[in-house]
């Protein structure tokens, strides 16, 4: 009986170690997948932030340089210069509002973060039953 119980103990210990190894490998795969997803989301947000900073800098230069150039260098009358400045100012305000509405819309952020895909997967999985 001693040999049989020793063999059973060794076999169960071997199975337990194999199970632990497989569980650890599965955990490492899941952590790697989560890391890749977090890295993708952070990369997108950093890219968006850089684009936003660059766009803000270009817009700030354009907001100052173009109107000053129009006012200083054109031989137009003061009324025409004022109308041009009002039109440019309105375009700047409307363009900025439109960009903010697009960038900060709930739908855009749901797509960017991947929540939309998760909700669609849940919906498709739920509709199968």
pLDDT tens, 64-115? 787 878 778 889 898 998 888 888 888 888 988 898 888 878 777 777 777 7
Counting beta carbons within 10 angstroms of the beta carbon of residue 125, is it exposed (0 to 12), middle (13 to 18) or buried (19 or more)?
A: exposed
| Whether pLDDT at 59 is above 60 | yes
Residue 114 has φ and ψ, to the nearest 5°, of: 90, 5
pLDDT at 5: 73
Could you tell me the pLDDT band of residue 1, with boundaries at 50, 70 and 90?
A: low
Q: How many separate domains does the chain show? A: 1
Nearest to 106 by CA among 97, 119, 115: 115
Could you tell me the pLDDT band of residue 117, with boundaries at 50, 70 and 90?
A: confident
Residue 105 has φ and ψ, to the nearest 5°, of: -75, 150
Q: Which domain holds residue 61?
A: 2-127
| Whether pLDDT at 129 is above 60 | no
Name the more confident of 57 and 113.
57
Name the more confident of 17 and 98.
98
At 81, list the tokens.
Answer: 């210069």
């Amino acid at each position: 009986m001693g040999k049989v119980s020793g063999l059973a103990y060794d076999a169960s210990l071997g199975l337990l170690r194999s199970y632990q190894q497989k569980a650890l490998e599965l955990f490492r795969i899941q952590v790697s997948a989560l890391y890749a997803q977090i890295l993708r989301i952070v990369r997108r947000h950093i890219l968006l932030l850089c684009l936003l900073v660059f766009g803000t800098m270009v817009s700030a230069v354009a907001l100052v340089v173009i109107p000053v150039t129009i006012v200083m260098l054109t031989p137009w009358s003061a009324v025409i210069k004022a109308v041009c400045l009002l039109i440019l100012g309105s375009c700047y305000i409307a363009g900025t509002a439109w960009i903010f509405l697009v960038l900060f819309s709930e739908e855009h952020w749901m797509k960017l973060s991947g929540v939309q895909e998760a909700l669609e997967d849940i919906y498709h999985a739920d509709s199968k039953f």
